[in-house]
Chains A and B, each alone.
Chain A
């Protein structure tokens, strides 16, 4: 038959003739019956999805690198020599002192190692999240089927051995065979992460209201920045751990950098929130003292930082910006200030 390759023909599969069923026509263009025993339940995730693609690491400039390495080498050898001298000195002074010092050094090394390991793990998880999110965004635009397998595996890997694992596995089990790729992403985003979203939201709201109230009530204006910074860092840590990222100093640092970057180059949606919260702020602050107004500003800033952090730590894209959070933060601050005023 001179069939064009444009389409694939229907195929009858005879349930009873499993063993004898031989392909009569070229497979990609034929109608066919399959023996029932020959077919198996379709898996929800397509196995045909493309392999993982690790993002290429940015290469730094050669000189800079050389500088970094040599600086590191000098520092390490300097510290090493000093430590060796310290040990030497303490042992020659008294064996007991030597024992004490080496114990301390051991503890230092151990805790430092743990910290380092955590940071590295956290950073790896962050980049993993970035990759998963990029994949998910691509799938959201994709109407076909069978491309979501890699995403599901990555997600499962990310949440392995965490309390959220069970929820994720359950959601994946419930995925329907008829969903296309974008439906799978939306389904997971809705149902696997809703718990974490709610917790992150509560966390952001708590910290935002807290820092707002702290700033409004603190008698020393110059500590404001410190206060807000401190609360923000704590919040970043907590949001990260909610989404299964091992919190560590380096994760905090990277997150802070990115959040500030995003806030500085806010897109249109953020602008809209900003305008909204500005209008809201002005209507509320008209009735508040200047100090309370500053508190409100600090609270809203913290809330926005929190939303950004949530977006960065969430493995799947956030569908819509949570406008009501900003409002409820503002309301929370004003209410708390109202309560605490008579006490002042």
Chain B
């Protein structure tokens, strides 16, 4: 006679049944768990497309079979998923994005202007094993936020005072291409007497011209990333703030009401009232982090673009809460224990280049990766495409078979076939960054159906999910 039988004979059948139900209920409640996934990426790195595609695939995971490397889904253990975003005050515009991608011709979602939240409840059956005792099924709540990539750029400002920030910017503006693009603005700033009492008109003029300057630096052919304050880059945001890029910091006391005092006060206000709340509310409590990097952009644009993006990413990643491993900290404040670096838009290169793309991404984030490794955090690099827009093809050139891509251009919407070049695994030397070497063009999306999703609609989204969340479903 087992324990169950003995128990029953002691306290009566019904009681035991009740007890068992109650225990199962308790276990269920205690095993509902939450996972906050940080999707980090500079602007246009593919955050919104990624979130849209991820949520779409997850919502259909119980029957579509589009995620063969995601164990719960492939093993048929997902009972169903539900989108709970509507509970939030600013839900992620999933339907809007999906409609855009599902219509004919499909189009990419617009650049994000607002913070928005996704919450997904995924109900799954536990695998056979010991934890089945806790109940047949469980629920995982997956939280993700989407935001304009520009906001991210301000995070490093949290640790800097105005003077330090200006000093950092001064060092940046000593290098090309900033030096020549900004020459007239720099000359203008150096003329002003910063101890004199403030002239609002002049401040207005300077911040407007600075905002314009940032826009120029951000657009082609420079395509720089490390542009602060990030909100200056967004249309419609009035941030009257600019760094004092002076050869030396103006000496002496800061008189009240002077230019200097005013700028400093504005900087502090921006940091405390705009950047910090964003950070505290949304960024200080993640469990897992995904860093999306658009490596191909830097290959197209050259070394300055590469180093600038590298600097921007490393600065931003400093702001996250990795493995500071105190017991109390862990109890009260979740920390990131796993990070995935993903080079997005892997469908812009042929599949045999994906491995090289991983290596190239490692070059870009090696410092951050080393620091994380030191803290004992698992990291990995992966080439992904949230929405595959090209088809693999082969062409006969000079009797040789060459793998190439076939798709529709993003700008002109004409069909093209091309071999876009090889991704280097080492940083190319200065004269190797030529237009002849890399031609990673942007593609228009292929239609993403509302149902009947297939593995060919993405690249490695399933492996990404398995790496980021797989252990939660065991």
Question: In the complex, how many angstroms separate the beta carbon of A231 from the nearest chain B beta carbon?
Answer: 24
Q: Which residues of A contact B436 (CB under 8 A)?
A: 9-10, 31
Which single member of A10, A39, A40 contacts B421 (CB below 8 Å)? Answer: A10
Whole-angstrom distance from the CB of A192 to the nearest CB of chain B? 11
- Residues of chain A lying within 8 A (CB to CB) of residue B394: 39-43
A-contact 0/1 string along B396-438, CB 8 Å cutoff = 1110101110100000000111111110100000001000111
Contact between B398 and A27 (Cβ–Cβ < 8 Å)?
A: yes
A177 at interface, CB cutoff 8 A: yes
Interface segment, one of B139-147, B213-221, B349-357? B349-357
Nearest opposing residue in chain B for A38, CB measure: B395
- Establish whether residues A34 and B352, one from each chain, have CB atoms under 8 Å apart when the complex forms: no
Nearest to A146 among chain B residues (CB) is B352
Q: Which of B346, B404, B438 contacts A34 (CB 8 A)?
A: B404
Q: How many residues of B contact A (CB 8 A)?
A: 46
Which of B98-106, B162-170, B238-246, B452-460 lines the interface with chain A?
Answer: B452-460
| A219 beta carbon closer than 8 Å to chain B | no
Q: Is A108 at the interface (CB under 8 A from chain B)?
A: no
Given A31-B436, A39-B393, CB of A10 within 8 Å of CB of B403: no
**Assembly CA distance A39 to B422 (angstroms):** 19
Name the A residues within 8 Å of B455 (CB-CB).
174, 176
Q: Report the number of A-B residue pairs with Cβ-Cβ less than 8 Å.
A: 128
- The answer to whether B355 and A144 have CB atoms under 8 Å apart is yes
A68 close to chain B: CB less than 8 A: no
Among B388, B436, B463, find the residue whose CB has the most chain A CB atoms closer than 10 A. B436
Contacting residues, chain A, for B415 (C-beta < 8 A): 15, 36
How far, in angstroms, from A64 to B402 measured CA to CA in the complex? 54
Query: Across the interface, which residues of B come within 8 angstroms of A302, CB to CB?
Result: none
A-B contact pairs, 19 of them (CB 8 A): A9-B436, A10-B420, A12-B416, A12-B418, A27-B402, A28-B400, A33-B418, A34-B404, A39-B395, A40-B394, A41-B391, A41-B392, A42-B351, A144-B352, A145-B352, A174-B68, A174-B455, A178-B346, A187-B69
Interface residues on A, range: 35 or more
Is the Cβ of B437 less than 8 Å from the Cβ of A11? Answer: no
The answer for the CA separation of A324 and B437 in the assembled complex, in Å, is 53
- Determine whether the beta carbon of B397 is less than 8 Å from that of A32: yes
A149 to chain B, nearest CB (A): 13
- Taken together as a complex, chains A and B put the C-alpha atoms of A177 and B38 apart, in Å, by 29
Whether a CB of chain A sits under 8 angstroms from the CB of B2 is yes
Contact (Cβ within 8 A) A13 B419: yes
B416 touches A32 (CB 8 A): no
Contact partners of B200 in chain A: CB under 8 A: none
Closest to B454 in A: A174
A172 to chain B, nearest CB (A): 13
A308 to B444, CA, bound (A): 51
In order of increasing CB-CB distance, the 10 nearest A-B pairs are A10-B421, A39-B393, A42-B392, A11-B419, A10-B439, A13-B417, A34-B395, A177-B392, A27-B398, A34-B417
B129 CB–A CB distance under 8 Å: yes
Other than the given A7-B432, A8-B422, A34-B417, 19 more pairs (CB < 8 A) read A10-B438, A12-B418, A15-B416, A15-B417, A23-B398, A27-B398, A28-B400, A32-B397, A34-B395, A34-B397, A34-B404, A34-B419, A40-B393, A42-B393, A143-B355, A177-B392, A177-B456, A178-B388, A190-B69
